[in-house]
Amino acid sequence: MSSPTSIAPASTTDTEPVERVPADHFGGPWGAGSLTFLVPAITFYLWSCVAQHDGQLWLPRSLDDVIAMFPVPTVRAAAIFGAWMALQVVLQLVAPGKVVEGAPLPRGQGRLSYRMNGLFAFAVSIAVLVGLLASGFLRASVIVEELGPLLTISTLAAVAQSFWLYAWGRQRGKLERSSGNVPYDFFMGTVLNPRFGLFDLKFFFESHIGMGTWGALAVVLPVAELERTGTLSLPMIVVSACQLLYIVDFFVFESNLLSMLDIIYENYGFMLAHAFLVWMPFNFTLQQQYLLASPSSLPAWAAALIVVMNLVGYVIFRDANLQKQRFRKDPTKNVWGKPPKVLETKRGTALLLSGWWGLARHTNYLGDLTMALSWCLACGFGSVVPYFYILYFAPLLLDRERRDHKLCKDKYGADWDAYCKLVPYRIVPWIY
């Protein structure tokens, strides 16, 4: 790899005190420190529910029960993990894709460039995976057997990466921002854009690893059901098809990630490292894992309603985001066939008051939540485990909306207050 373009070697000025930010998110240092242990524990517990307890919640009765919840890594799992990671790194480096600029960096540091090759890389990855499965060289049931060890290996990798990133940010000195509190900064991160040339680590792990591995498991788990039972159940088809639509859409519009808080604002620490390596691939496929552990049926009419619900959510989610992008490129472009209503701000920019963005300040989140609920409903009502996604995702988006609200308030001041009066609803029009 080439030397980092956005990460300079430490110098006399680099080691001066960093820009301090308040340690006030997720309950401050105590909350962040607790989440550093709680988030992995939740993931291991949920894996145990589907792999060891037929998809049901359970309570440990002895220390042995707790120990059994943490699978021992295996050589086979390490080989699968290493091969997948190597494939993704190679594809990030060599797969074709246009280079685009990200959002302006803080303190007038310009913009970073990113190579958008996620869709090509994902297509190649799935083609390779399907080829291995179809040829019999790799069996989906083997991957399912190794999910526990893979979870352990991925968690250890996230921890190791987080220590490395923490040290990287500390070396950067005043070029980065942090709170100065070690537990809080380990969880939230101390470096914003760790990268080597165009190889941006945060972007790569969120896109290729987080979303890509989720997509790979959304293919593997139905094949495992086919190997195990000789058929594909309707719930499994519905869940994986709906999720793959969402994942492919992400890669089609991969550049949208550059406008998200994850990339623009959040440092890369344990919170994101664990999210990309562990939380997304393992917890976002709990529905399919549950259906393998506890097969269930779904009437055709219910499946049709769930698919329609998912598509409605998808339309809201995608169209709202497209309206935002079009408005940023051309503020005069019609919205829903009419000239857009806008609020001019003292910063010289305008806030959109038309379309989905005139109904609520984050209607795209409504679409996201609608899709999430549809995936859970496809699993029936035999357990709360497959509903973890919506139970986690709803508070996450509520928190993200609040954080975005605060950032916009700091950015626009009184103009944001005026905007909120014109668009009073946060996510759900006429309700919230």
Distances (CA, A) of 391 to 20, 26, 109, 181, 308: 33, 17, 38, 30, 21
Q: What is the pLDDT of residue 304?
A: 97
Radius of gyration of the chain (CA): 22
Identify the pLDDT of residue 9: 31
Q: What is the pLDDT of residue 107?
A: 66
With contact defined as beta carbons under 8 Å apart, do 281 and 217 qualify? yes
Pairing of strands 350-352, 342-344: antiparallel
pLDDT tens-digit readout, 9-25: 333 344 455 577 887 88
Q: At what angle do helices 212-229 and 118-135 cross, to 10 degrees?
A: 20
| Cβ(426)–Cβ(361) below 8 Å | yes
| Residue 6: predicted pLDDT | 36
The two beta strands, 19-20 and 177-178, are parallel
pTM above 0.75, yes or no: yes
**Other beta carbons less than 10 A from residue 370's beta carbon:** 19
Mean pLDDT by runs of 10 across the 432 residues of the chain is 34 52 85 95 97 95 93 97 98 94 78 94 97 95 97 98 95 83 94 92 97 98 96 96 97 92 90 97 97 93 97 96 90 90 89 93 95 96 95 92 89 91 94 91
Measured CA distances, 332 to 10, 174, 327, 423 (Å): 46, 40, 7, 20
**What's the confidence (pLDDT) of residue 240?**
97
Q: Give the separation between CA 114 and CA 128, rounded to whole angstroms.
A: 25
Q: In 53-74, where does DSSP find H-type helix? A: 63-68
**Contact (CB, 8 A) for 384 and 287:** no
Domain boundaries, the chain: 10-297, 298-432
> Which three-class secondary structure state does DSSP give residue 263?
helix
pLDDT at 218: 97
H helices then E strands: how many in the chain? 18, 8
Segment 243-301, tens digit of pLDDT: 999 999 999 999 999 988 889 889 999 999 999 999 999 999 999 999 999 998 999 99
